[in-house]
Amino acid sequence: MNRMSRESEGPPPLPAQVGPYLRELVRRTRGVCGADLVSVLAVGSLALGDYRPGRSDVDVTVVVEPSVSGPVLRELAGALAHPRLPCPAPGLELVVYDRGFAGRASGLAGYLLDLNTGPLLPSRASFDPARSPAFWYVIDRSVAHRAGVVLFGRPAREVIAPPAASDLLAAVRASVREHTEGEGHLADNRVLNGCRSVVFCRTGRWTAKRVAAREIAACEPGFRPLVEAALAGFERPRAEAVGLPAAEVRAFLTWVRERVDEAAGAVEH
């Protein structure tokens, strides 16, 4: 991408594999939320132009008016759940925020609904943000503000506020810790997320995982074999993922954490 940000290029085209699904998702969301629906945004890999069929989830952020009730949110979760709405990706990760919360900077999770559903994603519909680690949502809102692709309603930058720098770096720190110590993460995804975290700390911009990995491979020759192996693994469907040497992955993520700590320390001082 020649160090050009996604927002200067304009939004990427949505992959043909998910276009009909997203249109139906928007139709159902409009049908349930009615006039209280403010925006539906494609985020994550779809927004950053790095969607991989068979590997990437479909990530969507929905913004609604604060008047939306709990029963409406539960109806929405049911209307979008796989297989009632068959998901063509490994999973759908959809988060609903009220307009008041989404429009101000926050280091909290703050969602009204967090829906995970799909053929390879454990089903989950949470209505209590206190039960979820905040860092996932802080990072997602940062990406959404910068690169969210409008599927319906108002532009991302009008409805999603960017988190404060200190909150965002704290979230990146927590993300790296989760990918170092947490369970259930694919090894190649741990490495690529680490690359993206370092590139963000160095440049202040969110990039596609593969773009970030190529940057790290080019400037950190000691980690190049591991990063290139992670890139090769990322080309495989999620169900066919292969492992990477655990000690090398942990050493790389320790280095990533040190870079993130340096960036956070610079902001604090």
Going residue by residue through the chain (269 aa), what tens digit of pLDDT does each one get? Answer: 333 344 445 678 899 999 999 999 999 999 999 999 999 999 999 999 999 999 999 999 999 999 999 999 999 999 999 999 999 999 999 999 999 999 999 999 999 999 999 999 999 999 999 999 999 999 999 999 999 999 999 999 999 999 999 999 999 999 999 998 877 789 999 999 999 999 999 999 999 999 999 999 999 999 999 999 999 999 999 989 889 999 999 999 999 999 999 998 887 65
Integer-rounded Cα Rg, in Å, for the chain is 18
- The pLDDT score that the predictor gives to residue 265 is 82
- Which pLDDT score is estimated for 77? 98
Rounded-to-integer distance, Cα 108 and Cα 112, Å: 12
Instruction: Find the angle CA(16)-CA(20)-CA(21) to the nearest 5 degrees.
Output: 105
pLDDT of residue 264: 86
Burial, 140: exposed, middle or buried (Cβ in 10 Å; 0-12, 13-18, 19+)?
buried
Question: In the numeric block, which tokens belong to residue 231?
Answer: 């890139």
Query: What is the pLDDT at residue 150?
Result: 97
- What pLDDT is attached to residue 9? 56
Contact 137, 94 (CB under 8 A): no
Question: Would you state the structure tokens that stand for residue 227, as one six-digit string?
Answer: 């990063």
**Structure tokens, 176:** 């790296």
pLDDT at 93: 98
Strand boundaries in 30-148, DSSP class E: 37-43, 58-64, 92-98, 113-117, 124-126
At 242 the pLDDT is 87
Long-range contact set of residues 15-20: C-beta below 8 Å, sequence gap at least 24? 15/46, 15/51, 15/53, 17/53, 17/88, 17/89, 18/46, 18/51, 18/58, 18/88, 18/89
Predicted local confidence at residue 147, as pLDDT: 95
Cα–Cα distance for residue pair 1/212, rounded to 1 Å: 10
- Compute the distance between CA of residue 194 and CA of residue 191 in angstroms, rounded to an integer: 5
- What confidence score (pLDDT) does residue 191 get? 97
pLDDT at 68: 97
At residue 58, what are phi and psi to the nearest 5 degrees? -90, 120
Selection from 62, 158, 144, 154 nearest residue 103 by Cα: 158
> Residue 69: what pLDDT?
98
